[in-house]
Structure 1
Amino acid sequence: MSGDNGGWHLVRGAFYPLKRLAEADARVSLITAVSRDEYGDRALENVQRAGANCQHSLRTSKLPTAKTIILEDAVGSLKRYVVERGAMQLLDPEYILARQHVIARASVLLLDASLNADVLRTLLSIVKHANLQAILFLPEEGECVATLRNQVAADLDKIAIVAAAKDVGTQLKEPVQDTESCVRTAVKLLEAGGDTVLVWWKGQGAAVATSESAIFIPQLPVQEDLPYDLYSFGAAVAEARGRGFSWRQAVRKSLSAHPGRIVKTS
């Protein structure tokens, strides 16, 4: 996002960016779908903790019984809206279309892998030309992901998609098994309505897809004489961001600056 939209940042922890709302001058809307399982429960607890830390009221005395919740910023306070029509309703494209007037107001769409490809496409069709600034998938935790979050702290352009390879590859019915399938997953997300797509493959690296190219960046250098890897890529993006480039511009600049040191798979 741009600074005018409150400066949404990717930092350590999928829900930790809520802390940034405390510093936002503009209203920021958030719609999130989380699973009712152990991971989802922890995620909701993190949301509540982050909301409390930034002195926003989540108005949640207990975890919701529905599988899906919707969070929306309103006049400086985060309010919780539990889906009333049942646990699986937001996983239904028809129900999403019925609530598109709510979804279209969101600035950030934060999703996990409980949403299938049909639902993802439906959501993208609603928000692509609306107020949406970014789509964030709950990423896998890992050292390289945490490092990139901390280094890049990226403002996301419209529409940037950040995805975990394991989750999204499974949802798109093409599990990520090698660099080529990871890149194909990024391209599919790009074709679904993204602008700049990063797909993290835990322990291996990341696929980056833009309208110009789709490439794979390894987590660690593949050769000593080609030292470019996911960490240095994150540092290059962060440096470009610090020089005033947008997140999308920074990504593309970092890629074009080191064409010989990136493992190309497309």
Structure 2
Amino acid sequence: MVQSSAICLSQCDSPVSTPCGHIFCQTCISEHVLLSNGFQSFCPTCREKFPIAIPQLQHLPYSFHQFILPSVRRVFLDTSPDPQVEDLKRRLKVAEDRFEMQSTSHALAIARLTQQLELEATRKRRENDRAALLEIIYHKKKYESLRDDFLSKSSSSSLSSVTIGAKRQRSGSFSDPDQERASPLPLLSRPPPMRSPTVTTPTMRPLRQPVDLSTFTRLREALEKARQTLQGPFPTFDGLPSDRT
């Protein structure tokens, strides 16, 4: 297991140990020792002091040499990976892969739901447009039907009024056709009593109804034929209205 240094917070490069047992990088602890007063220093972790001055061995008996040890000693650590750390790394990798996969699936699901919502909104909008168009067509047909009914009723009422007016005009013009047809015969049988040949009654009718001049034309032609047949002196009918007037 590789231990990290408490100074640089990274894996120890050339690890060394202080008398208190804490491990640091050789470079980091050397810089820390150089900042001391030259005789003693302290551990950066536990603040325990340790001497850094080493006596010269040639001034000491040989029997004491084995007890003279430097304060900072080099250590050899097992650099093989810790099984627990490797298991944690493996589990972390699996979790990251699973999270990425779930994120991708979630993104696809969100995109699919968004597309479905857009399609549903488009379908709903088309249905609303179709319903509005059908309603417009219905109201348009209803308006045209009402308009046709109104025009037909108006035309029928105007036609009926015109027909009634024409009937009234014809009834006023030919109110007594038998008398007008029978009038030439008494004239043929009794010519002298015709003192007033002008028809005054029909001339007064235009006050209410227009006069039909064809009747007077037929009457005049009949009288002319009768006069030519009998060769009798009949008064002229220049005062009668003609069809040219």
Give the number of the structure whose residues are more often helix, by fraction: 2
- For the pair shown, the structure with the greater C-alpha radius of gyration is 2
TM-score by length of 1: 0.18
Larger strand percent? 1
